[in-house]
Chains A and B, each alone.
Chain A
């Protein structure tokens, strides 16, 4: 299957609000040219209009603002890159209220609007001090996947083959009938989205097909950052299919990624206390709330020989890390630090990534600030009120200022659950909220 090359448009704009309408018009046309519907086009236009409007107020005057728009098959990606003269981006927090003072909207309203229009937002700081604000607008799919139950008999003979945009729709329909919503990726809920995600190359998939041409298993994988592969599955239909089928699907993935830039594969076995063969158990997520009977196991499969690396470590996390590194036989040098270097004067920002049909949220700190503890408590409460049972936080041990979050997490009821090798700039630590709901917020 030829790789999809997404069309791109980019422009550099002076920090001057007079150019905002021109950029917004270009965005509207780009959305149409990318083949998206009117609704998505308007989201892109609004995102560019408000995003650029906001940045014109806060960006460094001496440098232009770069805007890049990319039309993937299943989503549009918008990126702003510039240097900021101020960096209080607190409205990116999901808990932030519309910024209004004395009945008047403040200039932060534009950034607030962008973050609420987008399906996903991300903020990254580059070594040269520039910031990249990334916005993703998903294609809207109307027709949900119709479950395809059927009786697939245990297979004696099967072949593993790459999934096509067509065959993945069949796999999605079978998965929706046979599996829980947490087990399959969210894009399986819409056949068109499943096909588009595979066509775009963002995810790849392989199927186990029986001699009777029935889809009896599926495995999916994607690169969630430049170095790690995220593996979903294998899902077998029914689960009682021979274990060799699951092993064959996983081996297919490993052989596909073995000579790429990937250095490891991370798998989450939903509802299972075990990991696929050949994977190392990183840890489990304890169940909470109404779903106390379930446990998810995270596991890792290295693709290259581990030559060791260094990580930043807050003293309060040292015991946990040393224990985990010894258990996993991972050679690491720990640099103890308790300093929070970045943006101490501004507000902290946590980016939310909702998963498993909204049952779970992963929080990632992108800015630190003196309000970090308060901000975390507000997020906890906000999520609790909306019935989100699983709250996770991921800290990147390659980013020194993130280590300052460790004691705050421990104080607020989070517990470190596992180390994910090379999950970020270096290893990451996944925390899960294990405490009781705390009334610490004010807003």
Chain B
């Protein structure tokens, strides 16, 4: 079998994503007893109690049954909560699946997408997997550059991906900037506003994309249950848009991809999350304060904007620091893959863990210069 002949060039050139190994394996490799995961922006408080109860209530025998193919009840709940029509929502196996649906629904060979070079990598990967051109616009002052992105739009541009707030920089566009951008795009292409960290944002001027859907039918909003709602392990997210746009995406949609437990837990989380959101926000607020003070003391540059994470410039290879912190039972995310070499991203966790992280970081950055 000639695999090289069988495999399209654009697939061969993709870097296969290598997920981190399971915790037990990592602990064994790095020789640490405990492992604090500060790498994936998971919510250390877990899911809201109502969602946990929904998981517990799930009858094991129902595992034999297929789930609702289009997350019927969850879409009803979304419609009620967000005051929209259920048909304006599509639920996916994490927002990664929905990114793929959008690209496949709107892009063909020769088309292009526009996004940043230093943002969530999946937009870029999906385009690469589908042989769609990626136009990667550098960030300006760590923020999506509206002018430069607008200059990249041409007749073959089908989708613009904006991560708001941006992962990993935590920067974001306020409402006025988003609205102005949409006006200048003027419906020439789809604009995806990825609001994975929407529930963390406390700035009143932050843009709630759902409120713009009526005026901008080319707008699609992504949200997830993986972050604030603590359901990352169940893989569930959703998109919202104008009914006719969502109809088009449905052509490229994979039904039955979201399991029953995820649907039930997400619905419960959505309906009973107020306290959980407040608790999480308080933890993040306190954690960022602690982190800012610690990093200032160490004299390290950092970006601690909106979202449940903070990005730190370190005076050594981020990969070396990763390994050294792993040895101490602290798992962070290196930023070289986000094209920020020499930076790490840390998930905001509880006080005790963050304190441990700051102490470990202080000890590592004060280490022998020759090994940096």
Most buried by B among A301, A304, A305: A305
Give the complex CA separation of A304 and B336 in angstroms.
Answer: 7
Q: A261-B14, A331-B326 are in contact. List 10 more A-B contacts (CB 8 A).
A: A254-B336, A255-B339, A260-B13, A277-B372, A302-B317, A304-B18, A305-B319, A307-B29, A308-B30, A331-B30
Question: In whole angstroms, how far apart are the Cα atoms of A279 and B318 in the complex?
Answer: 10
Q: Which residues of A contact B13 (CB under 8 A)?
A: 260-261
Chain A at the B interface: mostly helix, strand, loop or mixed?
Answer: loop
Contact indicator B319/A307 (Cβ below 8 Å): no
Asked if A306 is at the interface (CB within 8 A of a chain B CB), the reply is: yes
How far apart are the CA atoms of A253 and B29 in the complex, in Å?
30
Task: Indicate whether A258 reaches chain B with its CB closer than 8 angstroms.
Answer: yes
Residue in contact with B319 in the complex, picked from A259, A261, A306, CB distance below 8 Å: A306
Alpha-carbon separation in the docked complex, A10 to B73 (Å): 58
Which residues of chain A have a CB within 8 Å of any CB of chain B? Answer: 251, 254-255, 258-262, 277-281, 301-308, 327, 329-331, 333
Q: What are 11 A-B interface contacts by the 8 Å CB criterion?
A: A255-B341, A258-B336, A260-B13, A278-B342, A279-B317, A280-B317, A281-B371, A301-B317, A303-B336, A304-B319, A304-B336
Set of chain B residues within 8 Å of A307, measured between Cβ atoms: 18, 20-21, 26, 29
B36 within 8 A of A: no
Kindly report which residue of chain A lies nearest to residue B341, judged by CB atoms: A254
Chain B: CB-nearest residue to A302: B319
**Contact code string B293-317 (vs A, CB < 8 Å = 1, else 0):** 0000000000000000000000011
Contact A258 B30 (CB under 8 A): no
Take A254-B336, A305-B20, A307-B20 as given contacts and tell me if A261 and B15 are in contact as well, using a CB distance cutoff of 8 Å. Answer: yes
The 10 lowest CB-CB distance pairs between A and B, nearest first, are A302-B319, A308-B29, A331-B29, A329-B323, A254-B341, A261-B15, A255-B339, A278-B317, A307-B21, A258-B339
Residue of B nearest to A255 (CB): B339
Per a CB cutoff under 8 Å, which of B25, B327, B333, B337 touches A303?
B337
Contact B337–A330 (Cβ < 8 Å): no
User: What is the minimal beta-carbon distance from A297 to any residue of chain B, in angstroms?
Assistant: 11
Judging by beta carbons under 8 Å apart, are A280 and B320 in contact? Answer: yes
A283 → chain B, closest Cβ, in Å? 12
**Nearest A residue (CB) for B316:** A278
Given the contacts A259-B121, A308-B21, A308-B29, A331 and B323 also touching, CB distance less than 8 Å: yes
**B370 within 8 A of partner (CB):** yes
Please name all residues of chain B whose beta carbon is closer than 8 Å to the beta carbon of A306 when the two chains form the complex. 319, 322-323
Residues of chain B contacted by A281 (CB below 8 angstroms): 370-371
Q: Closest chain A residue to B21 by CB distance?
A: A307
In the complex, A333 Cα to B21 Cα: how many Å? Answer: 15
**A173 CB, nearest partner CB in chain B, Å:** 30
Q: How far is the CA of A254 from the CA of B334 in the complex (A)?
A: 13
> A residues within 8 A CB of B327?
329
- A259 contacts B317, C-beta separation under 8 Å: no
Q: How far apart sit A259 and B15, CA to CA, in the bound complex (Å)?
A: 7
- Shortest Cβ gap from A323 to chain B (Å): 14
Q: Contact check, A303 vs B30: say whether CB atoms are below 8 A apart.
A: no
Instruction: Report B-chain residues with C-beta under 8 Å of the C-beta of A330.
Output: 323
Complex Cα gap A327–B368 (Å)? 12
Complex CA–CA separation, A302 to B320 (angstroms): 8
Question: Which residues of B are found within 8 Å of A259, using beta-carbon distances?
Answer: 15, 121, 124, 337, 339
Report Cα–Cα, A307/B23, bound state, in Å: 11
